[in-house]
Structures are given as C-alpha cells and as structure tokens.
Chains A and B, each alone.
Chain A
Amino acid sequence: MRLLDRSLLHLSMALLLVLALWATAFFFVVRGAVLDSIDEGLEEQQELILHRVKQDSTVQIVEDLGLHGYAILPAHTKIKDHYSDTLLYLPSEGEVEKVRLMTSGFKHDGQRYRLLVFTSTVEEDDLLESLLIALIALYVAVLLTIVVVHNVVLRNVWKPFHAILDHLKRFRLDRGRALPDVPTDVREFKELKAAADALVRHAADTYANQRAFTENAAHELQTPLAIAINKLELLAEQGTDEQERMAVVGEVLGLLERLTRLNRSLLLLARIENRQFQAPQEVDLHKLAQEVVDEFTDLAEHREVKLEAQVTGTFTATMDPGLARILITNLVKNAIVHNIPGGQVQVDVANGTLSVRNTGRPEPLDGTRIFDRFHKETTADGGTGLGLAIAKAIADLYGLRIAYRHDGAHVIEVRAAGNNGGSSPR
C-alpha cells in the first residue's frame, strides 16, 4: 500500500467519524431551537384563547381539536403545562399530519378546564431533512477535496523524496562521491537529504581510505621484496668473499624481518577493526605506563634520550590488556625514535589522561595525518608507519580520544571518553 493511499484511508475514516458526530450534535441543536420557537408560538396562541375565554361569562366547551385548531375540555384535576409530538387528523388538509401539541389547564368560576392547542410541524421536519442532506453533501465534498489534494498536491510535495530515493538506488561507490542536488524547502526532506549525503560521504571516504590502504600496503610490501630479491641475485653473482656474502645475507634477513613486522602490524590492525578482541577488562593505564617506560629505558639510553614517567593520578580503562600495552608502547616508542640526541620523552598520567611529550624536529607535524596508515615524516628509519595508526585504532575501539598537539614539544594525548581535558575527577 502506498503511503498516499494509507494516509487517505485514515483521513477519510477519521473525517467520517468527526462529521457524523458533528452532524448528530448539529441536528439536535437545530431541532431544539426549532421546537423552542414552535413552543413559543403555541404559548402565544394559548394566552390569546385564555384571554378570550376570560372575557366571556361562561366557558364554551370545544371538543373537535382538528377542526378548530384548539379544544377546551372539562377537567377534574390540576393540569401542568406540557408539550408533546403526536399525529392528528386535520379535516382542512384531509390527512393525518405530525403536530406539536400543548396541553394546559385553567380555572373559571371554580370549574377546572383543559386547554389543547397545536401547530403542524411538517415544515420544520422538511428543514431538518434539508440540513441533513447538506451535511452529507459537505462530507462528500470534503472527502473529494482531500483525495484531489492528496493525489495532485501531495504527489508534488513528495517529489524530492522519490528523487532522493532514486539517487540512492543508483549510487555506486566506485563511481561518484556525492549524490546530485535535490532542491526542497521541506524540513524533513532536507534532513533526509543531509543524512543520505552524510552516509554516502562516509562510505565514499571509507572506500577511498581502504583503497589507498591496500595500495600503500602493497607498495610497502613490494619495496623490501624487490630489494631482497636484488640482493640475493647480487649474492649469486658475487665472488667468494665470505664477509661480503654474510653481509648480504644479513641485509636480506633484515628486510624479511621488516616484512614480518609489517605483516604482523597489518594483521593486528585488521583484528582490531574486526573487533576480534573480546574480553575487555579493567586496565590500570597508570601502572602500565610506568611498566612500559621501564622497559624502554635501555633503548632510550642508547638513543641518548631522557625518558621519564610522572604519574599524578589514576587512569583506568576497560579494554583488552594486550592492546592497552600496545597502545602505550607504540606512543612511547614513537616518541623515542622520532627524537633527537639529548632530547626528552615525558610520559604524564593524570586522572583520565595519558600524554606523551617529546622533543624532536622543531616544526609542528600535521595533526590530521600523523595517525594515518603509512604516513611517515621520514623514510629512513625503516619503521612500518603503522605504529600511531594502530594506537588510534585501539583508542577508537574503546572510545578513548587520542589527539596530537604541538606546544614547543610534540604531545600526543589519550583521554578517557568522558574527559574533556584538564584534570577533571573521575
């Protein structure tokens, strides 16, 4: 069933109910008013007759109501004024008609009498009948209007919706990055269009990222493979100098180890993104940070970098303990490796935040790109270019916020989800 038909169905049923109720109420109100006016007329008539009766010395009994338009009959009890609808044969018309009858009583010379007066209500009934017909006509007219409005006007109003739907149906990720414009001033359709646009943009961005990632990964694998092959070819051609041969073997081993690390990193990234880590638990990041810093003391010393940890608060997160260690390890290692001799790495843990601050090249890095996969500022270090991407993937997985800033030193800060900076209490 189309949306149009459905709303029409509901509307016509509701309308029928409302109009029926309204017509009933209207009918009774009008009828009441008509009867009131008839009753008033009867009263006037009664007063006129009474006035005439009181002028005479005797009361003349009038029996034939139909003929005279009124009747005066003797009564034995007191009679209260009352009205009734009844049928009466009218000799003047020659037929039985509906009439409104007023019965009242009066006293004359100690004798009680009953006075009956009536008016025909045929015309009033005709009036009510016409009213009903008019109401039914109104209902039909309203319904017809709604049908027309629905089918003509609303069909036009819904056009943007169908346009958006059509664009979505025809959208292909590998072609085009956005949906065509659909002009509309209806708020709901604007929202729908905005939502569809956002969805498409996100899908297109993700797709582009994935494509770039695959290409980059292939390239990163390609380079060491090419070098390894060439080195082995050289080795095969070379003379018999033992040392030279061993050197080549060592270099090839190094390249293969680099490939191994790259592959492990890629698998780790894939597993993080496929959410293959299932048993998160409470991890004390402040303790873990201290442990990681202790582990890296040797490497920092070797690189002539001063590595320090300062824990001034607690930072507990619900996550996989292995991933938590990888997150902190990658940040600390990154800070040590991309440093200068005589430089510093400062790991600070306050309530709900962990920051790694390091000296390095003086100019700020591109904060939007350093978490990108394979984004490298230098190519010489043989790193995989995935360390910070993995850190970000882990942070994202557990709703932690990670950001880079430069304030003379390079700072990467990890914050708990509800922590907006500063040292807010947990």
Chain B
Amino acid sequence: MKILVIEDEPELADVLVRSLQRERYVVETAADHRTALIKIADHDYDLILLDIMLPGGSGLDVLRELKALGKAGNVIIISAKDSLDDKLAGLDLGADDYLTKPFHIAELNARVRSVLRRKTLGGSNILQAANVRVDLDDRSVTVDDQPLALHRKEFDMLTYFLLNKERLVSRGSLAEHVWGDHADDSDDLDFVYSQIKNLRRKLKQSGAAVEIQAVYGIGYKLVGT
C-alpha cells in the first residue's frame, strides 16, 4: 500500500509518516503545492492525505488536478479549518473523508483503514482479529462463528479497537469517536472505563482470543491472546 502525505508542517508530516509506517504502509511526502502536483502526476497512490492550506496554493487545487487525472478516489483531507464550506467543496471534488486538525492518531488510522478497505477488498466490510469477526454492514459480531450481542456503543468501541489493532487508543480519542465531541471533563474518562469493562467481560465470556489491555493513565490497546 502506497500513501502520499501532502502536508507542509514538517513535525506533523513526520508524525503521520511514522504512524503510517508502523502499519507497514509505504509512505511518501510532499511539503508544498508544486511537489504535490508533480508526485500525483508521476505516481499512483492507494491513498493521499491532503492538507488544504499549502504554501503555493490550495489543497483543493491539488484535488481538482487529481480529479482531472482521474485519480480523485482515496483522498482524506486533513485541515485546520473546520469549515463546512471547505468540507463540502472537498467532498464534492471527490475526496473520501475530511478530518479536522487536531485529530487523534487512532482516528486517522481508523479512517485510513476504512478508505483502503473499501478500495482493496472490493467493498467488503468485514474486520477480523483472531477469532473475532465484525461485519460493518449489518453491524454484527461473531466469535468462533457464534454471534455475540453487543450494545451500539460497545460495537462502536470494538470496531474502533479493531481498526487500531495493537495500537494505543487514548481514552479521549475513544470517547470522541464513540460518544462525540462532548465528552469534555475528567469524570467522563471514568465513564469510558465503565463502558470498557462491559465490553471486556462480554469478549472474555464468549471466548474471544483478543483482549483490551489498559495502558496505565492513557488508554487501551487491543491485543491478541
């Protein structure tokens, strides 16, 4: 899988590259408008992470160019501007997703996985880890082919963990992904803990070969057992 990161802020580009490399993707970067245009003209990428505000031009221009080249699929826009207009313009031009800075690495991972899965697996929406199988289309979970009943939020959490297998998911990231942008005080992190407890219990009872480990003080990690 080859991914192009178009981002002018070197620190952020570095973090993105390192995080994506851990997922064993091949990652290239472009730090400005011109480089970006050259790279997209010369190569084919499975996914492009595109910053909207670039030195030398707008990321939307890059998107237009991609559309003209017939390569507009598989673009995730990452922008500091949380503006609906930009979002709509981007999605209209064929981008797959729009992520507002700052974002959690786990959230980016989940979105990258979703986009790539849609492209490479021909639209199949199955996530699998050990003996746990999640069907995103009919929102069902099976463990060793036995159905496992989960509440809506538990299902969302499990999906998020599967998209971030073996990676650290902070409580803040989890809360925001599952409960939205309004989990904003310290007490709510305990609230996340109480929800995790239920999910863990259900996984254990069903004999799942995965486990949600606590990472002390920060969050959780889904690992195989």
Q: Which residues of A contact B (CB under 8 A)?
A: 243, 246-251, 253-254, 257-258, 260-261, 264, 267, 271, 276-277, 295, 298-299, 302-303, 322, 329-330, 333, 337, 381-384
Looking at B16-24, B120-128, B175-183, the stretch in contact with chain A turns out to be: B175-183
Question: How far apart are the CA atoms of A95 and B84 in the complex, in Å?
Answer: 105
Give 11 A-B contacts (CB < 8 Å), ordered by A residue: A243-B216, A250-B217, A250-B219, A298-B191, A302-B190, A337-B185, A381-B185, A382-B186, A383-B184, A383-B185, A384-B184
Are B82 and A267 within 8 A (Cβ)?
Answer: yes
Q: Which of A299, A322, A330 has the most CB of B within 10 A?
A: A299
Residues on A with C-beta less than 8 A from B215 are: 246
Question: How far apart are the CA atoms of A298 and B180 in the complex, in Å?
Answer: 13
Complex partner residue of A298 from B84, B170, B179, B190, CB under 8 angstroms? B179
Are B217 and A247 within 8 A (Cβ)?
Answer: yes
Are B102 and A260 within 8 A (Cβ)?
Answer: yes
Question: How far apart are the CA atoms of A249 and B219 in the complex, in Å?
Answer: 11
Kindly list 4 other residue pairs between chains A and B, CB separation below 8 angstroms, not including A243-B216, A246-B215, A302-B191.
A249-B217, A302-B190, A381-B187, A382-B186
Residues on A with C-beta less than 8 A from B194 are: 302
Question: Which B residue sits closest to A245, measured CB to CB?
Answer: B217
Are B185 and A254 within 8 A (Cβ)?
Answer: no
Residues on A with C-beta less than 8 A from B82 are: 264, 267
Residues on B with C-beta less than 8 A from A295 are: 179-180
Are B185 and A250 within 8 A (Cβ)?
Answer: no
Question: How far apart are the CA atoms of A260 and B107 in the complex, in Å?
Answer: 15
Residues on A with C-beta less than 8 A from B186 are: 254, 381-382
Question: How far apart are the CA atoms of A247 and B172 in the complex, in Å?
Answer: 14
Are A254 and B172 within 8 A (Cβ)?
Answer: yes
Question: How far apart are the CA atoms of A302 and B193 in the complex, in Å?
Answer: 10
Question: How far apart are the CA atoms of A54 and B181 in the complex, in Å?
Answer: 128
Q: Which residues of B contact A (CB under 8 A)?
A: 82-84, 102, 153, 170, 172, 179-191, 194-195, 215-219
Question: Which A residue sits closest to B195, measured CB to CB?
Answer: A298
Residues on A with C-beta less than 8 A from B179 are: 295, 298-299
Residues on A with C-beta less than 8 A from B217 are: 243, 246-251
Residues on A with C-beta less than 8 A from B190 are: 302
Are B185 and A246 within 8 A (Cβ)?
Answer: no
Residues on B with C-beta less than 8 A from A254 are: 172, 186, 189
Question: Which B residue sits closest to A243, measured CB to CB?
Answer: B216
Question: How far apart are the CA atoms of A145 and B136 in the complex, in Å?
Answer: 95
Are B181 and A264 within 8 A (Cβ)?
Answer: yes
Q: Is the interface of B mostly helix, strand, loop or mixed?
A: mixed
Q: Which of A243, A248, A254 has the most CB of B within 10 A?
A: A254
Question: How far apart are the CA atoms of A254 and B104 in the complex, in Å?
Answer: 12
Residues on B with C-beta less than 8 A from A267 are: 82
Question: How far apart are the CA atoms of A333 and B182 in the complex, in Å?
Answer: 8
Question: How far apart are the CA atoms of A258 and B170 in the complex, in Å?
Answer: 14
Complex partner residue of A303 from B84, B180, B187, B195, CB under 8 angstroms? B187
Are B191 and A258 within 8 A (Cβ)?
Answer: no
Q: A243-B216, A298-B191, A333-B182 are in contact. Are A257 and B172 (CB under 8 A)?
A: yes
Question: How far apart are the CA atoms of A321 and B219 in the complex, in Å?
Answer: 33
Question: How far apart are the CA atoms of A393 and B190 in the complex, in Å?
Answer: 31
Are A329 and B182 within 8 A (Cβ)?
Answer: yes
Q: Which of B84, B182, B186 has the most CB of A within 10 A?
A: B182
Are A253 and B172 within 8 A (Cβ)?
Answer: yes
Question: Which A residue sits closest to B191, measured CB to CB?
Answer: A302
Question: How far apart are the CA atoms of A43 and B92 in the complex, in Å?
Answer: 107
Kindly provide the distance from the CB of A277 to the nearest chain B CB, expressed in whole angstroms. Answer: 8
Q: Which of A249, A260, A330 has the most CB of B within 10 A?
A: A260
Residues on A with C-beta less than 8 A from B182 are: 329-330, 333
Residues on B with C-beta less than 8 A from A249 are: 217-218
Residues on A with C-beta less than 8 A from B170 are: 250, 253
Question: How far apart are the CA atoms of A251 and B216 in the complex, in Å?
Answer: 11
Complex partner residue of A246 from B181, B195, B216, CB under 8 angstroms? B216
Kindly provide the distance from the CB of A93 to the nearest chain B CB, expressed in whole angstroms. Answer: 103
Are B218 and A261 within 8 A (Cβ)?
Answer: no
Kindly provide the distance from the CB of B188 to the nearest chain A CB, expressed in whole angstroms. Answer: 7
Residues on B with C-beta less than 8 A from A250 are: 170, 216-219
Question: How far apart are the CA atoms of A130 and B140 in the complex, in Å?
Answer: 116
9 closest Cβ pairs, A-B complex: A250-B217, A247-B217, A250-B218, A257-B172, A302-B191, A382-B185, A381-B185, A382-B186, A246-B216
Residues on B with C-beta less than 8 A from A384 are: 184
Are A247 and B187 within 8 A (Cβ)?
Answer: no
Question: Which A residue sits closest to B173, measured CB to CB?
Answer: A257
Are B216 and A247 within 8 A (Cβ)?
Answer: yes
Residues on B with C-beta less than 8 A from A246 are: 215-218
Residues on B with C-beta less than 8 A from A247 are: 216-217
Question: Which A residue sits closest to B152, measured CB to CB?
Answer: A298
Q: Which of A250, A267, A276 has the most CB of B within 10 A?
A: A250
Complex partner residue of A299 from B102, B181, B191, CB under 8 angstroms? B191
Question: How far apart are the CA atoms of A337 and B187 in the complex, in Å?
Answer: 9
Residues on A with C-beta less than 8 A from B83 are: 271, 276
Complex partner residue of B184 from A243, A271, A322, A382, CB under 8 angstroms? A382
Question: How far apart are the CA atoms of A382 and B186 in the complex, in Å?
Answer: 6
Residues on B with C-beta less than 8 A from A257 are: 172
